[in-house]
């Protein structure tokens, strides 16, 4: 499989090394070796990549596969392979590789033993050891006061062979010498074998979705980073373009796609936020290797996710349920203890970001907002807590959580149901307001737990022509809304997580044919347009970040379910 490096970055499982353009920050579309530690405030550019011939820059064509990046110029070629997560191997013929460092305060380069050079990037908080294995290494790094004015490394082919080969290694403190006797072909073969194993374990899909599966498998494999710093477990980032964090509902969908074939990694994805849970019970909005952000949070879909996973694997044993039970209680209680300012038993969102639907029209009038999707998630979460308590032999807890779920269901209907639709309201005044956001249909995840009259209105609204349901799936804002926007983030585009949630809700409601139709439209769109952050609801065109993991994961899950339906497996 080849992919477009302008949309999908080159990396590998476990690595913080990424090779890609800088997108909007670099109109020339040059490639950079990036360090994606520290989140998305900085694109992490370390070295600009150029091919040179006789000292001059030459143009090249890029061919990217999951395990090999090749740059072809008229004068020669260069190949790059991330052999190990911190170890980049490079070889070329006929042309040289120029690495120009983005220098900041205190950055420097210095020669070390055996022709190596160390580059110390203070700005990126990482060091690099550059080791020439064939050919020459010329460095231009003039020292000015406390740093190098600029750092340019030219890795040039030898005069006799015309070949160049080098190793570029990341390290934090002390560099450890590696085994360079393994040739480039072997390095590439070993990485490729690792990727092919991941690919073979990826969920089965029909032949028509195989290209989509290949792309989704690569994106999910390459977006995992190793545990480091603040990250206690392997973490599947949302992307290695610029969304270089994990968010506290995105991780759930990635766990779901892994649970059948890689349940240990799936459990790591699910539990990683609970590892950093605050004493109050809240989960951080997002995390990376250096810090977590606590200004917002994300919706409590974790009970819903856990139930879905439990139905598909035996890996989640009683011991693992014991591990998650108390953290899930604290997460549930936090909403009632700290997000119910008017003490009416209906928790609130203080900001659109808390809901995951950042700029949804539900928040058009400000906050705090009592939105029915939040109640629905908490009802589901308390139902799951009741189920877990039963499995753990905690009979009183089982009864308590079921009773609280029922009470919250009654309150949700009383507060949020208005004749034939759910509405949101400002907390404290209970004045409902108009919105044409798909988020108001999210209580469908409760399925037949809802009264039949309510459920039928939700299903009818989802099917109605000219509202949400398009050729490609479910728009997040009704297409007849004055606020609908083709690239309006949560005011129109189709998103993977909302598709997944409503798909499951439809199945739970007995609307299996409609659910299958929703899944098929989404999979057709993603297979054609790629695993984008979101999609134009009317054209199906991919929008924003074009290499998103939760899109890849939802595509794999839904395509696998379509495969199972058609094959009887």
Q: Is residue 38 part of a domain?
A: yes
* 12 located within any domain: no
Is residue 274 in some structural domain?
A: yes
Confidence of residue 430 (pLDDT cuts 50, 70, 90): confident
Q: Which of 92, 190, 171 is nearest to 136 (CA)?
A: 92
CB atoms within 10 A of CB 345: 16
**Residue 146's pLDDT band (cuts 50, 70, 90):** confident
Q: Is the pLDDT of residue 26 over 60?
A: no
Q: How far is CA 501 from CA 7, 83, 301, 474, in A?
A: 27, 38, 9, 11
For residue 368, say if its preceding peptide bond is cis, omega within 30 degrees of 0: yes
Residue 540 forms part of a structural domain: yes
d(CA 94, CA 535): 42
In this structure, are 170 and 214 located in the same domain? Answer: no
Does one domain contain both 188 and 207?
Answer: no
How far apart CA 480 and CA 94 sit, in angstroms, is 59
What 8-state DSSP symbol labels residue 86?
T
- Sign of the CA dihedral 553, 559, 561, 567? negative
pLDDT of 157: 96
Q: Does one domain contain both 98 and 240? A: no
Question: Do 154 and 235 sit in the same domain of this protein?
Answer: no
Whether residue 99 is predicted with pLDDT greater than 80 in this model: the reply is yes
278 lies in some domain? yes
Evaluate whether residue 148 is within a structural domain. Answer: yes
Given this model, what pLDDT does residue 201 score?
Answer: 97
2 domain-assigned: no
Contact 505, 447 (CB under 8 A): yes
In total, the chain counts a number of residues equal to 569
Six token digits for residue 368: 């705090």
- Indicate whether 385 and 256 sit together in one domain: yes
Distance CA 270, CA 339 (A): 23
In this predicted structure, the answer to whether residue 25 has a pLDDT above a threshold of 60 is no
Total structural domains in the chain?
A: 2
Is a pLDDT exceeding 80 seen at residue 568? no
CATH number of the domain that residue 271 is part of? 1.50.10.10
Q: Which domain, by its residues, includes 288?
A: 202-567
Q: Quick one: 488 and 520 in the same domain?
A: yes
Element (H, E) at 134: strand 126-134
The structure tokens listed for 320 are 């693992």
> What are the φ/ψ torsions at residue 526 (nearest 5 degrees)?
-65, -40
Q: What percent of the chain clears pLDDT 70, i.e. is strictly above it?
A: 99
Q: Measured between alpha carbons, how far is 557 from 525 in angstroms, rounded to an integer?
A: 15
| Whether 444 and 558 share a structural domain | yes
For residues 245 and 183, membership in a common domain is answered with no
- Tens-digit pLDDT profile for residues 310-361: 999 999 999 999 999 999 999 999 999 999 999 999 999 999 999 999 999 9
pLDDT digits (tens, 9 = 90+) for 372-416: 999 999 999 999 999 999 999 999 999 999 999 999 999 999 999
Residue 29's pLDDT is what?
A: 81
């Amino acid at each position: 499989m080849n992919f477009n490096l302008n949309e999908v970055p080159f990396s590998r499982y476990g690595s913080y090394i990424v090779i890609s353009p800088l997108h909007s920050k670099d109109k020339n579309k040059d490639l950079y070796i990036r360090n994606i530690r520290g989140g998305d405030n900085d694109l992490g550019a370390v070295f600009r990549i150029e091919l040179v011939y006789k000292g001059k820059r030459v143009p090249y064509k890029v061919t990217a596969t999951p395990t090999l990046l090749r740059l072809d110029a008229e004068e020669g070629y260069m190949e790059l392979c991330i052999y190990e997560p911190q170890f980049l191997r490079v070889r070329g013929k006929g042309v040289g590789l120029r690495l120009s460092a983005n220098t900041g305060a205190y950055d420097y380069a210095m020669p070390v033993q055996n022709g190596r050079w160390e580059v110390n990037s203070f700005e990126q908080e990482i060091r690099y050891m550059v080791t020439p294995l064939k050919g020459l290494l010329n460095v231009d790094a003039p020292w000015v006061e406390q740093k190098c004015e600029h750092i340019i490394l030219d890795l040039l082919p030898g005069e006799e062979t015309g070949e160049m080969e080098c190793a570029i290694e990341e390290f934090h403190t002390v560099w450890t010498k590696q085994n360079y006797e393994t040739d480039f072909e072997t390095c590439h073969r070993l990485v490729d074998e690792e990727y092919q194993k991941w690919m073979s374990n990826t969920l089965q899909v029909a032949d028509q979705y195989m290209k989509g599966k290949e792309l989704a498998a690569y994106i999910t494999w390459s977006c995992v980073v190793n545990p480091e710093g603040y990250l206690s477990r392997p973490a599947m980032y949302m992307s290695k373009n610029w969304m270089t964090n994990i968010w506290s509902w995105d991780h759930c969908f990635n766990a779901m796609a892994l649970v059948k074939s890689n349940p240990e990694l799936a459990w790591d994805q699910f539990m990683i936020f609970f590892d950093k849970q605050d004493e109050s019970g809240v989960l951080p909005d997002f995390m990376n290797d250096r810090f977590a952000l606590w200004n917002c949070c994300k919706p409590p879909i974790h009970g819903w996710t856990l139930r879905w996973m439990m139905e598909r694997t035996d890996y989640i044993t009683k011991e693992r349920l014991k591990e998650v039970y108390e953290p899930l209680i604290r997460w549930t209680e936090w909403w009632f203890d700290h997000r119910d300012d008017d003490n009416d038993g209906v928790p609130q969102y203080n900001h659109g970001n808390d809901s995951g639907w950042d700029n949804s029209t539900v928040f058009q009038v400000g906050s705090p907002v009592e939105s029915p999707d939040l109640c629905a998630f908490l009802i589901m979460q308390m139902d799951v807590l009741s189920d877990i308590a039963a499995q753990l032999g905690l009979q009183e807890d089982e009864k308590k959580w079921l009773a609280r779920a029922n009470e919250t269901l009654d309150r949700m209907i009383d507060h949020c149901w208005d004749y034939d639709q759910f509405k949101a309201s400002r907390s404290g005044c209970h004045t409902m307001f108009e919105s044409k956001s798909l988020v108001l249909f999210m209580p469908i995840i409760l399925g037949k737990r809802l009264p039949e009259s309510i459920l039928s209105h939700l299903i009818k609204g989802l099917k109605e022509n000219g509202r949400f349901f398009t050729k490609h799936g479910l728009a997040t804002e009704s297409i007849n809304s004055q606020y609908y926007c083709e690239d309006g983030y949560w005011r129109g585009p189709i998103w993977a997580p909302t598709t997944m949630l409503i798909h499951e809700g439809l199945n739970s409601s007995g609307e299996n044919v409609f659910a299958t139709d929703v899944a098929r439209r989404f999979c057709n769109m993603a297979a054609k347009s790629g695993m984008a952050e979101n999609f134009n609801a009317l054209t199906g065109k991919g929008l924003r970040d074009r290499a998103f993991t939760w899109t890849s994961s939802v595509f794999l899950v839904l395509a696998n379910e379509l495969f199972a339906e058609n094959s009887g497996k």
